[in-house]
Amino acid sequence: MSRPLLLAAVLLALAPVALAGCGDDDTDTDTAATTASTSSTTEDGATPPADRTVTKTTPFGSPDGDIGCVIGRRSVRCDVADPDWKPPKAPASCKLDYGQGITVDAGGAPEFVCAGDTTLGAGQPVPYGGSISAGLLRCESERSGMTCRDTETGRGFALSKRRYKLL
């Protein structure tokens, strides 16, 4: 499948999830924070505002292109190009590719991706030290990889070419 068709398939697959969390506001708002924060909490334990906040399903990636993600108000998914790690064995219910990335729904637990598409190469990179959020979900881009989590529950994942961790 060509990359544009793959991107369209990813966005179409995530659109109902993103739209379910949207109200009447159908505008995409990107807000640039006045100061970039590489810390996931402030001195008082609160999560600092993201460098970019979106209200629609939005693809993004790491500056080196090794990680591609799609974030929406209800879920975030990140895939890794040629990871050095192996995912757990695919469940019998997964009839597609398994483990090329990890996803987490707002309020849910992280799980490995079972999909026939990829989020790689879709969207603009989030600079190292930068962050993006949608609803309760937030991702932080670091040279060591991408960390995405639900800011209320703390559940999520960290992944890179070298390793992954379910949070």
CA 161 to the chain's CA centroid = 15
- The answer to whether residue 44 is domain-embedded is no
Please give the residue range of the domain that contains residue 75: 3-20+50-166
Which of 78, 132, 134 shows the shortest CA–CA distance to 102?
78
Pairing of strands 145-150, 131-134: unpaired
According to DSSP, residue 90 is labeled P
Residue that the structure tokens 């993004």 belong to: 60
According to DSSP, residue 120 is labeled T
Number of domains in the chain: 1
- The answer to whether residue 42 is domain-embedded is no
Q: Is the pLDDT of residue 126 over 90?
A: yes
pTM of this prediction exceeds 0.95: no
- The answer to whether residue 37 is domain-embedded is no
The predicted pLDDT at position 27 comes to 30
Interior angle at CA 132, CA 128 and CA 138, nearest 5: 110
Q: Is the pLDDT of residue 79 over 90?
A: yes
